[in-house]
Amino acid sequence: MKYEKIGQSCSGAEDKSRNAAECVSGAPEGAKAAHVPPRTEIVFILDASGSMHHLTDDTIGGFNALLDKNRDEPGEATVTTILFNHKARIIHDRIDIRQVPHLTRKEYCCDGCTALLDAVGDAIERTDLVQKVQSVGFKAQKVLFAITTDGMENASRQFSYKQVKRLIEQHRAQGWEFLFIGANIDAAAEAENLGIAPECAAGYVADDVGTDMLYRAVGEAVANVRAARPVTAGAWKTTLDEDVKMRGGK
């Protein structure tokens, strides 16, 4: 899968973060640890296939609300946003979370099929490479992937389930965290196929209410990771689980 790159990249934001880190470069090690906030790499992988069309405005609004809620949380964070259907499009390329522009209908256009495996596999390999080339002091201390979809994989050509599962398990062993939120599928079973822990998987109801809950839940998980709190306890997805139990069969 080849990425189509749209929107901003990290250049200005990363310079600002780099300058901030350099301001404490002469401090003792203890002072550095006390004053340099943790760095978090956040990768959002959002389904933009044709079946998501009826949720266009809800997805845009929910995602933007997530960003707004998390902009001023403590700690440095960069955001990469990847939209996928039968191909992947990078909308935000490692931008400081305080500077990420709102998603609009110009970027979030839904059509096509669901090449979930290609989008996830490419994103992991790309993020891994980015982290490997970062100089000491600029590598992320936390990496979080948040994957959302409203249906089953049906169009990938580059990656298989086995390949993506191996990639995710390898990077989970390095401390990376992965969330999987899916509608109209068995989210727990699909997460297991991908190598994602069951407590990091949730279903949601694919309507306006369910989409709002989805982004509130993911926003809570993002805040937890940035605060060095584990998401594996599963509390972040309680409202989603309850809503699926109540309304999922309707």
Element (H, E) at 64: helix 56-70
Structural domains in the chain, sorted by start: 3-19+37-247 (3.40.50.410)
Q: How far apart are CA 70 and CA 151, in angstroms?
A: 27
> What is the predicted pLDDT for the residue at 27?
35
Q: How far apart are CA 179 and CA 14, in angstroms?
A: 25
Q: In 123-223, where do the E strands start and end?
A: 142-149, 177-182, 201-203
3-class secondary-structure state, position 73: coil
> What is the predicted pLDDT for the residue at 9?
56
**More confident: 73 or 233:** 73
Threshold 0.85, pTM exceeds: yes
Nearest 5°: CA angle at 42, between 71 and 87? Answer: 120
| Rounded (10°) angle between helices 161-172 and 187-194 | 80
Q: In 160-200, where do the E strands start and end?
A: 177-182
Q: Please write the tens of the pLDDT for every residue from 112-128.
A: 999 999 999 999 999 99
Q: Please write the tens of the pLDDT for every residue from 86-144.
A: 999 999 999 999 999 999 999 999 999 999 999 999 999 999 999 999 988 889 999 99
User: Which residue type is seen at 173?
Assistant: A
**Distance, first Cα to last Cα, the chain:** 36
